[in-house]
Structure 1
Amino acid sequence: MSDEHVYAALIEGDEDGDARWAFGTGFTDPLHGVDTAVPESVDAAALAACCTALGDDALISAQRLAEWVTRAPELEEEVALANIGLDLLGQARLLYARAGQADGTGRDEDAFAYTRDPDAFRNIRLAELPCGDFAFSIVRLLVTAAWRLALFTRLTTAADPVLAAIAAKGAKELAYHRQYAADWAVRLGDGTEESRRRITRALGETAPWTGELLTDDLAAPFGVEPEAVAGETLDVLRQVAEAAGLDLPEAAAHPGSGRRGEHTEHLAPLLAELQSVARAHPQGAW
C-alpha cells in the first residue's frame, strides 16, 4: 500500500460510524455496565463541569509527559514518565465519559479530547506550560500530583457514586506519581551543584502558577473544601523541600484562570499537535 493511502484505509469499512481514536478501536464505554444515573441530590451541570475540568487537567498533563519519550535522561525514567502519562490518560477517559453522561450530550472521551477548541478547555494553566528541563517537569509533577491526590482523596466521598469511584481509583495512581516526583526532587536538591541550581530554578518557575491550584473551588459542590486541599498540598511541598534542603517559594497566581478558558499561548500548539490526525480524518479508526 502506498503511503498516501494509509490514512484512507483507516476509514474504510466504518459502516456504523463508530470510529474511536483514543486507546484504539473497539473499546466500549469505559463506564459500561455501571449505573450512570445522576443522583437527584447531585447538580448534573456541576458534575459535568467538575469532570470535564479534571479530565482536561489529566489529558494536558499526559500530553506534556509524553514529550519526554525518547528524551528522558535514562530509559527507566522514560518508562516511568510514560506510565504516569498513561495513568492520567485513563483518568481523563473515565472523567470525560462521566461528563458526557452528566451534561446530557452523550459525548465520549474522543469528542472531549479531539473536537474542542482551546477556549473550551478548562485545565489548570500549569499543566500546559512547556516541559522545560527535567527538573521543571519533576517539580510540576510534584505540585500537580500532590494537589490532585489531596483533591481525589476527598472526592471519594462525593455524592455521585461514579465520580467517587473514579476518584478512588485515581488516588491510588496519584500516590505513586507524588512519591516518584518527591523522590526525584530530593535527589536533585541533594545532588550536584548543577542539579540543585536547576531544581531551585524550577521551584521558582512553578510558584507563580501554583496559586491557581490552591484556590480552585471546582469540587466544592461535592463537599471538598479548597482550603483543606490547599493546606495538604502545601504541607507536602514543604516536607519535600525540607528533605531536599531547599526553600519553597511562596505560591502566587498569574491573572486569569484556566477554569474560565483563559489560557497561555502554549495550549493552542499543544492541542494542534494532539488533535491533528483526528481532525484531518474525523472518521478514522485504528
Structure 2
Amino acid sequence: MTDEDVYVDGDSARWAFGTGFTDPLHGVDLAVPDGVDAEDLAACCAALGDDALVSAQRLAEWCTRAPELEEELALANIGLDLLGQARLLYARAGRADGTGRGEDAYAYFRDPEDFRNVRLAELPGGDFAFTVARLLVLSVWRLAVCEALTAAPDPVLAAIAAKSVKELAYHRRYAAEWTVRLGDGTAESASRVRAALDALAPWLDELRTDRAAARLGVDPVDVAARTRLELFHVLADAGLNRPDDVSRLDAPVSAVPGSGRDGEHTPHLAPLLAELQSVARAHPDASW
C-alpha cells in the first residue's frame, strides 16, 4: 500500500472508501449489557441499518449516470460508507435479538414489509438536485442521531455511531456544498433544487421521531431541532431559505401515521429490494 491509496481526514488516515484501518469494534465487549433492552437495541440497529442500506442502493443507481466522473465516484464512496454502516448495524441487531442472523439475512432475505427504513430513503432518485437535497436532509438528520448514540448504553452501538459520525460529517459537507452551488448557480439549477425541496417536504414528518433510538437515550426533539437549524444554515447560504421547507421538523413529536418505521412503505421499495436481492435469492446457499 502506498500513500496514494489513502486520504487523510484530520489526524486520521483512512481508506478511500471511508473505512478506517482499525476495527471500530476492536476490544469492545459484544455482549448486550445489563440494563439494555435487547429488543429495543435490535430494533434501533435494524432501522438505522435499513436507512443506510436503502440509501446506499439509491446512490448506487448514479453509477455511470452522474454529471461528472468525480461526482460519480463521490456518490459511490458515500454509498459504500453507508453500506459499511449497515453491515455493522445488522450484525449487532442479529446478536441483540438472539437469532444470530448475519448481515446477509437482514439485507437479502427480508421482504419489504419487514424493512424499517424511513420512506424518504426509498423514493426514486430523480435528478441530481433531488439526490443532493435528499442526501443533505438524511445526512444532517442521521449525523444528529449518531452523535447522540455515541453515548448509547450499548458500547457496540456507541462504537458504530462514533465511526459513522466521521463519515456522515463528510456526507453532510458534500451535500451542503452542492446545495449551495445549485441554489446560488443558474436560474435552472436553482429551480431544480427548489423543486427537490418541495418534493422532499411532505416526507420530513418521519424524521421528527425515532422511537427505537429514543429508548436508547436519543432525544427526538433535540435531533429535530439540530436538523432544522443545520438545514436552515445551508439553505440560507444557497439563497433558498424558505421556512416552509423544513417547518415540519417543528411539529410536536408523536407517532407518524404510515411510517416506514412501522413497515409501511411507498410502492418504490419493493422494486428496489427486488433488484438488490435478486442474485442472493437465486443462490440462497452462497456466501456473499
Q: Which moved more, 1:240-249 or 1:106-115?
A: 240-249
- Percent sequence identity over aligned pairs: 71
Which of 261, 264, 269 matches 1:262?
264
Give the Cα separation in 2 of the matches to 1:188 and 1:158: 37
Q: Is the 8 A contact 2:25 2:159 kept in 1?
A: no
| Cα distance, 1:232 vs structure 2 | 0.3
Structure with greater contact order relative to length (CA < 8 Å, sep ≥ 6)? 1
Give the Cα separation in 2 of the matches to 1:163 and 1:218: 13
Taking a change above 3 Å as real, the CA distance of residues 33 and 278 of structure 1, as seen in their structure-2 partners, is: farther
AA paired with 1:273? E
Which of 25, 31, 45 matches 2:39?
45
Per-residue deviation, residues 88-110 of structure 1 (Å, max 9, x unmatched): 00000000000000000000000
Give the Cα separation in 2 of the matches to 1:161 and 1:135: 37
Which of 101, 105, 119 matches 1:125?
119
AA paired with 1:239? H
| Cα distance, 1:250 vs structure 2 | 3.9
Taking a change above 3 Å as real, the CA distance of residues 47 and 285 of structure 1, as seen in their structure-2 partners, is: closer
| Cα distance, 1:30 vs structure 2 | 9.0
Give the Cα separation in 2 of the matches to 1:117 and 1:251: 33
Aligned to 1:161: 155
Per-residue deviation, residues 222-241 of structure 1 (Å, max 9, x unmatched): 11100000000000100011
Q: Is the 8 A contact 1:217 1:225 kept in 2?
A: no
Q: Is the 8 A contact 1:220 1:226 kept in 2?
A: yes
Aligned to 1:280: 282
Aligned to 2:208: 214
AA paired with 1:45? E
Matches within 5 A, 1:1-286: 34-248=28-242, 249-252=245-248, 255-285=257-287
Per-residue deviation, residues 96-138 of structure 1 (Å, max 9, x unmatched): 0000000000000000000000000000000000000000000
**TM-score, normalization by structure 1:** 0.87
| Cα distance, 1:68 vs structure 2 | 0.3
Give the Cα separation in 1 of the matches to 2:51 and 2:119: 9
Q: Is the 8 A contact 2:59 2:75 kept in 1?
A: yes
Give the Cα separation in 2 of the matches to 1:58 and 1:221: 20
How many residues align structurally? 258
Per-residue deviation, residues 5-44 of structure 1 (Å, max 9, x unmatched): xxxxxxxxxxxxxxxxxxxxxxxx9968742110011000
| Cα distance, 1:218 vs structure 2 | 2.6
Q: Is the 8 A contact 1:209 1:251 kept in 2?
A: no
Aligned to 2:19: none
Question: Considering only aligned residues, what root-mean-square deviation do their CA atoms show, in Å?
Answer: 1.7
Give the Cα separation in 2 of the matches to 1:157 and 1:48: 17
| Cα distance, 1:255 vs structure 2 | 4.1
Aligned to 2:11: none
- Aligned with 1:58: secondary structure? helix
Give the Cα separation in 1 of the matches to 2:194 and 2:284: 44
Q: Is the 8 A contact 2:24 2:159 kept in 1?
A: no
Gaps of 5+ in 1: 1-28
Give the Cα separation in 1 of the matches to 2:27 and 2:194: 48
Q: Which moved more, 1:186-195 or 1:241-250?
A: 241-250
Give the Cα separation in 2 of the matches to 1:77 and 1:39: 42
AA paired with 1:160? D
Give the Cα separation in 2 of the matches to 1:35 and 1:134: 42
Give the Cα separation in 1 of the matches to 2:83 and 2:197: 26
Give the Cα separation in 2 of the matches to 1:157 and 1:76: 35
| Cα distance, 1:216 vs structure 2 | 2.6
| Cα distance, 1:219 vs structure 2 | 0.8
**TM-score, normalization by structure 2:** 0.86
- Aligned with 2:212: secondary structure? coil
Per-residue deviation, residues 27-67 of structure 1 (Å, max 9, x unmatched): xx996874211001100000000000000000000000000
Give the Cα separation in 1 of the matches to 2:71 and 2:103: 28
- Aligned with 1:71: secondary structure? coil
Taking a change above 3 Å as real, the CA distance of residues 101 and 65 of structure 1, as seen in their structure-2 partners, is: same
